[in-house]
Structure 1
Amino acid sequence: MKKLFLLIALSVFCPFFSQQFKAYQFYNKKGKPIKSEKMIKQLANYQVVLFGELHNNAIVHWLQLKLTQALYKKNNKQITLGGEMFERDNQYQLDQYLAGRFPSSALGDSVRLWPNYTTDYKPLLDFAKNHQLKFIATNIPRKYASQVAKKGLDYLENLSVEEKAYMVKLPIKITMDTPGYQEMKTLFEKHDAHFNVTNFIAAQAIKDASMAESIFKNLKPGYLFIHYNGNYHTQAYGGIFWYIKQMYPNLKVAVISVFESENPKLPIPKTDYIPTDFNLIIPTDMAKTY
C-alpha cells in the first residue's frame, strides 16, 4: 500500500518522472523508425557503410563504436575501418600503432590528431588495434586541400609524384550536379560575394574524391568497410558516396546521415531533410566534446 501511494504521489506531484528522454532515434529511408538490431542486419549486406557524424557530438561517436562492434560480430569479424580524421600520409604511423610498435602516448608526436581524438576517435582506433583490424587513413593531407582552397586545383599539378600519392589520382571531375555542392556555392555567395567559391568547392571535392578512392582501394572480398566522416561529406548521397559511385557504380554503399532536433520525441525533420539509407535524429542539446 505504501509503495502504491508513493507511485501515485510521484505521478501527481512530480511530472518530471513521467517524462520520456530519448538520446537518439534511427529512421529508415522511408521515414519509419527502425530498431538497431534490424539496421545492423541490413547494413551487413552492404560492402561500404558511410557513417556521417557531427564531429563534436558525443552520442554520435558512441553510436559509431556500438555499430562497429555489432557489425564486427555480424560480419564474422571481417570488417575494415577508415576515417576522415586521419590523413593518408600518416598511414605508416597509424599502422605502427595498430601493430603495437609504439604506445598511445607517442601517437600524437607523429600523427596529426584532431582535438577530440581521445574522447571520440581513440575508442574506434583501439577497437581496430585490439581486434587486429585495419584502420585506413583516407583523407588528403590538409595542407594540400588548404592550398587548393586558396589557389585552385592547378596547384596540385606542380607536386611531386610522392606527394600526389597522398591524394586521388588527378584529374578529378567536379560538377555542381554533385549533391551538396550547389547548396554550398549558394550559401557562400550569399554571405561573401568576394569569396572564391570555386576553389573552396574544389578543396571539398579533392577531399571527397580522395576518401572515396582510399575506400575503394582498400576493399576486400567478403569484408565490410565502415567509414567515419563529417555528415556534409555524404549527406543526400553527395560527396564521398557520389565519387565512389563514379569509380564503381555497382558497389553496395549505405549512407547513415545525422540530423538534430529540438523536439524531445526526435521526429523526422520537416525542413532541409533529404533522407539516405538510415537517418539518425539526435537532440540539439546533446553533450558536445568540444
Structure 2
Amino acid sequence: MSLLILFLLMFTVNASAQDRDKPAYRLFTKSGKSISYGKMLKELKEADVVLFGEQHNDPIAHWLQLELAKDLHQAHPQNFAIGVEMFEADVQLVLNEYLANQAPESNFEQESRPWPNYKTDYKPVLRYAREKGIPVIATNVPRRYAAMVSAGSLSALGGVSEDAKKYIAPLPIAVDLNLQGYKRMMGMFGSNMHGNTKSENIVQAQALKDATMAHFILQQVNQGKQLLHLNGAYHSDNFEGIGWYLKQEQPQLKTLTLTTVLQEDLDNLSKENKEKADFIIVVPASMTRTY
C-alpha cells in the first residue's frame, strides 16, 4: 500500500510540474514585490519620461514596448512622443518623412541606417506611430562622433562644426566616472584598449550617447509631451546613464524606468536584479532570441 501511495504522489508531483503555467514574463517593483501590468501602467501614465531598458534581442521586451506605447498614447493622445536609441539624430528628417507617409518605406529603411534587427523588433512600433501620427525622435548621437570620442576623448569634439553640434548634447559634457555603470565599464575594458585608446575614452563615448539621448528627450518634454524612450538597459539601469543626465538638467522631472532581465525563476526577483529600475521585467532564461 505504501509503495502505491508513493507512486501516486510521484505521479501527482510530475503531473503538477507539467501542468504549471509558463508565463512569458513577470513584473516586479524595484524592491522585488510582484506587480500587475495595470498597476504599473497607472504609475507610468503620471511620468514625464519613461525609460524602457531592453535587451536588444528579447522579443518580450519589444512586444511590451509596443503595448506600452499604445496604452500611453491612449492616455495622452495629444501629448505623447516616442524616443529611440536605435536611430541617430542625423536621420530625423527621413524619419519624419516616413512617419508623414512622404518617404516610401523602402527608401526610409535604406537611408536611416536601421539596426539589423529593425524589421523584427522596432518596425512594429514605428508603423504604429505612423498610423497614429505619433512623433518619433531619433535620440542617439551619430556613431561617427562616438567613434571620435572613443579614439580621442570628448576633447575631440572641440573642432566639430556648428552643423555637427545640432546632433550632439551641448558641449562641454560632464562625465561622472564614479557612477557604478561607468566604473564597471572601465573595469570591463581594463586600463587600455588597442594601444592608445584608453578605457576612459570608451566610457566618455558612452556618456556622450547618454547625454545626447537625454538632450533630445528634454526637447520633447519641454514641449509638453510625455516621452517613452526605448534604449538598451545599460543606458538606464540603476537610475544612471540617461536618467543621470536628465536629473542634472531638470531635477524635478518625473522619470520612471523599466529594465529587462533573464531568470530561471520567475516567481521571485533575484537579489542582484533588485533596485535596477522602478519596474523589472523578468523573462525566462529559456526565452527564444530574435538574433
Q: What is the alpha-carbon root mean square deviation over aligned residues?
A: 2.1
Q: Which residue of 2 aligns with 1:243?
A: 245
Alpha-carbon distance, 1:17 to partner: 4.1
Which residue matches 1:146? 147
Q: Which residue identity is paired with 2:225? A: Y
Q: Secondary structure at the match of 1:243?
A: helix
2:217 corresponds, among 208, 212, 215, to 215
Which residue of structure 2 lines up, in the alignment, with residue 186 of structure 1?
187
Give the residue type in structure 2 aligned to 1:62: W
Measured in 1, the distance between the counterparts of 2:205 and 2:119 equals: 27
Query: For 2:85, what is the secondary structure of its paired residue?
Result: strand
Asked if 1:199 corresponds to 2:205, the answer is: no
C-alpha distance in structure 2 between counterparts of 1:12 and 1:274, whole Å = 35
When normalised by structure 1's length, the TM-score is 0.90
Cα offset, 1:103, TM superposition: 1.6
The equivalent residue for 1:6 is none
Offset at residue 186 of structure 1 (A): 2.0
- Report the CA distance shift for 1:143/1:32 in structure 2 as closer, same or farther (over 3 A): same
Unmatched 5+ stretches in structure 1:
1-9
CA distance in 2, matches of 1:178, 1:13: 47
Q: Distance in 2 between matches of 1:13 and 1:41?
A: 39
Aligned-partner Cα distance in 1 for 2:279–2:130: 28
Match of 2:59 in 1: 58
Per-residue deviation at 1:273? 4.1
Give the conservation status (yes or no) of the 8 Å contact 2:45–2:75: yes
The one-letter code matched in structure 2 to 1:243 is Y
Q: What does residue 228 of structure 2 align with?
A: 226
Unaligned 5+ segments in structure 2 are: 1-10
User: Over residues 66-94 of structure 1, what are the superposed CA-to-partner deviations in whole Å (9 max), with x where a residue is unaligned?
Assistant: 11111111234531001100100000000
1:178–1:242 contact (8 Å) kept in structure 2: no
Decide whether aligned partners of structure 1 residues 19 and 206 sit closer, same or farther in structure 2, where only a CA change above 3 A counts: same
CA apart distance, 1:262 = 1.7
Structure 1 residue 270, shift from structure 2 partner = 2.4
Q: Which 10-residue stretch deviates more, 184-193 or 237-246?
A: 184-193
CA distance in structure 1 between the partners assigned to 2:244 and 2:180 by the alignment: 8
CA shift digits 1:187-241 (9 cap, x unpaired): 2228979661110000000000000000001225653100000000000001000
Summarize the Cα distance change of 1:33–1:92 in structure 2 as closer, same or farther, 3 Å threshold.
same
The structural deviation recorded for 1:145 is: 0.3
What are the residue-to-residue correspondences of 1:83-232 with 2, within 5 Å? 83-189=84-190, 196-220=198-222, 222-232=224-234
Q: What is the distance in 1 between the residues matched to 2:105 and 2:227?
A: 24
Distance 1:65 1:36, change over 3 A: same
Aligned to 2:83: 82
CA distance in 1, matches of 2:132, 2:43: 23
Q: Which amino acid aligns with 2:246?
A: I
Whole-Å separation in 2 of the counterparts to 1:64 and 1:279 = 13
Measured after TM superposition, the shift of residue 110 of structure 1 is 1.2
Structure 1 residues 202 and 13: alpha-carbon distance in aligned structure 2, compared to 1, 3 A threshold: closer
The residue number in structure 2 matching 1:5 is none
What SS does the corresponding residue of 1:129 show, helix, strand or coil? helix
Q: Deviations over 1:230-285 (max 9, x none)?
A: 0000000010000000011111000111211022x342122364332111111122
2:46 aligned partner: 45
Percent identity of the aligned residues?
Answer: 38
Whether the aligned pair in 1 keeps the contact of 2:53 and 2:234 (CA below 8 Å) is yes
Cα distance between partner residues in 1 of 2:274 and 2:194:
27
More moved, 177-186 vs 38-47: 177-186
Aligned partner of 1:262: which letter? E
Match runs of 1:18-37 below 5 Å: 18-37=19-38
